[in-house]
Chains A and B, each alone.
Chain A
Amino acid sequence: GIQVEQSPPDLILQEGANSTLRCNFSDSVNNLQWFHQNPWGQLINLFYIPSGTKQNGRLSATTVATERYSLLYISSSQTTDSGVYFCAGVFGNEKLTFGTGTRLTIIP
């Protein structure tokens, strides 16, 4: 079946540091989304990015569909960035297939 792998699984950084989260997928992707899951479990939409590059404030994302990966960049990390980050893709049907997540901890 389709595999979506995220790395690293855990990341601990000092406040102010930059980070790169990676998402590899095993098949051609129709849609790709990045989410931040807050401590209460809500999935917050960060990017809808089936291809190309987008930026939103301190966050940016790049998807290279032909090479089957996506990257999420977080610059000047803040403690409120802590949480679990998921990528998820739609592969030829309607459902999102999620990765295993990256748990980010920002230390003051």
Chain B
Amino acid sequence: DTGVSQNPRHKITKRGQNVTFRCDPISEHNRLYWYRQTLGQGPEFLTYFQNEAQLEKSRLLSDRFSAERPKGSFSTLEIQRTEQGDSAMYLCASSPSHYEQYFGPGTRLTVT
């Protein structure tokens, strides 16, 4: 299967720790997106890349969050000094240009 993959699927961390998530998009999709979903809500946009360039960041992405996509392939999302409010499902999606976005299974983060 060549869908979007995300690792880890679950992460439990203590408040104040740093965490990093990885997303591998569908091969040859040049656009990659990160979204965050909290309980009972729809996903909210965080940031997106076209190839290796990060083109837009949401105001939700505080300075504790950083995302990279080296070489335009996989992407990482790092959260520094985690807070309980960071607990959420982090979703990654990819698309081939201005078209349909395909989502990965998500990484569920719990901050204790």
Contact = CB atoms under 8 A, between A and B. Distances in A.
B41 interface: yes
A94 B68 CA distance: 18
Contact of A99 (B35, B42, B91): B42
Interface residues of A, number: 23
Given A94-B98, A95-B48, A98-B42, A43 B103 contact: yes
B99 A48 contact: yes
Given A95-B56, A100-B42, A45 B102 contact: yes
A63 to B, nearest CB: 14
Contact of A94 (B31, B100, B108): B31
**What range describes how many residues of B lie at the interface?**
20 to 34
A38 to B, nearest CB: 9
A41 B106 contact: yes
Contacts of B37: 41
Interface of A: 4, 30-31, 33, 35, 40-43, 45, 48, 86, 88, 90, 93-101
23 contacts: A4-B42, A33-B100, A33-B101, A35-B103, A40-B105, A41-B89, A41-B105, A41-B106, A42-B106, A43-B103, A45-B103, A48-B100, A86-B42, A88-B43, A90-B98, A94-B31, A94-B33, A95-B48, A95-B58, A96-B35, A97-B45, A98-B42, A98-B44
